[in-house]
Structure 1
């Protein structure tokens, strides 16, 4: 029987290069680790940061939304990224998008809130290892030194000419998340593999 869109198993945008990412990780001797974190729930949320809805949503999620520019707040499996004065990206475990959206809408009540499920729009690359900063610096104009872009920081930027959301994880050893549009994920993975050749 032929598979349809409803019966076919989910395929990540980087399923075809997963072996190459794993091979680069093995041959770098631990200097670089590249992996995809597929299917993370991602919700774009917009509302007045000083309004009653923001506080209610924070309580409902058990997560205070970050108010400082380019910062990240994490609680359990949920991460909130500041994208703008009234905009956040919530990242959660795969399959949690409907529950998160329901909790946000219920908490906001009659207050204005925009919640858009953008889970299918992006995939997430994990870049870790002692040379992760160096690898990303090849194609990113941000100062990625831990003093300037340390744990708990995020930014919308370009990496290898591709628009991404870059996240410095809680622990420096945890490396970075690179959230990239699915349509550009293959290109960016190839770019990272090429840029990592000096470490393998």
Structure 2
């Protein structure tokens, strides 16, 4: 298994774009806020949602795995995203992926479970501000109106022809997380900056 521990030399997929994202946020006067949230721990879980392991894993993590499609459960610094009937993504603070894996495997015991650290596979882009929904709607076919995709919702979808996991954050004015594969992060950032030009 690859070592995903953070080192002093770790460089996020969007480190080269940090100044451009910050400049766009400043120029928009806060109407749109763009930033990378690098190195978040991301652990994919596959197990039987109706089995004993699901409840045990929820207890070990301190949050239940969401059972309603395309919903999010958040407790403390952890967020669990429903990705499918037997699949979830647990997102936590940078550097916690090994601890999360250990806790999940230990809780599952002998029950069949798949636990995969995908932290290095994706990065996270924060899209926030009063025009965040409008900006994302330029390249996403989902209905992003708050009635259809309000706080606590998530979806695997395409944004600007890039596969992403889109998360409507549950705190007031927290905006959206866009979880994107690292290899497509630069392209998506360029698209977001271009689409945000009308608000700058």
TM-score, scaled to structure 2: 0.96
Alignment deviations for residues 115-151 of structure 1 (CA, whole Å, 9 cap, x no partner):
0000000000000000000000000000000000000
The question of 1:11 aligning with 2:11 is answered: yes
| Partner of residue 173, structure 1 | 173
Runs of 4+ in 1 over 2 A off after TM superposition: none
Mapped to 1, the partners of 2:141 and 2:172 lie a distance apart of: 20
Mapped to 1, the partners of 2:163 and 2:172 lie a distance apart of: 23
Cα deviation for residue 187 of structure 1 reads 0.2
| Partner of residue 85, structure 1 | 85
| Partner of residue 142, structure 1 | 142
Aligned residues: 195
SS in 2 for 1:116: strand
Alignment deviations for residues 38-83 of structure 1 (CA, whole Å, 9 cap, x no partner):
0000001000000000000000111100000000000000000000
Residues 168, 94 of structure 1: alpha-carbon distance in 2 compared, 3 angstrom cutoff? same
SS in 2 for 1:17: helix
The question of 1:184 aligning with 2:184 is answered: yes
SS in 2 for 1:110: coil
Cα deviation for residue 172 of structure 1 reads 4.3
| Partner of residue 118, structure 2 | 118
TM-score, scaled to structure 1: 0.96
The question of 1:21 aligning with 2:21 is answered: yes
Cα deviation for residue 171 of structure 1 reads 2.5
Instruction: Please tell me whether the aligned partners of residues 123 and 182 of structure 1 are also in contact (alpha carbons under 8 angstroms).
Output: yes
Residues 73, 32 of structure 1: alpha-carbon distance in 2 compared, 3 angstrom cutoff? same
| Partner of residue 46, structure 2 | 46
Mapped to 2, the partners of 1:185 and 1:30 lie a distance apart of: 22
Cα deviation for residue 7 of structure 1 reads 7.1
Residues 7, 198 of structure 1: alpha-carbon distance in 2 compared, 3 angstrom cutoff? closer
Q: Which segments of 5 or more consecutive residues in structure 1 lack a partner in the other structure?
A: 1-5
CA RMSD of aligned residues (A): 1.1
SS in 1 for 2:64: coil
Mapped to 2, the partners of 1:172 and 1:34 lie a distance apart of: 17
Mapped to 2, the partners of 1:103 and 1:122 lie a distance apart of: 22
Instruction: Please tell me whether the aligned partners of residues 150 and 172 of structure 1 are also in contact (alpha carbons under 8 angstroms).
Output: no
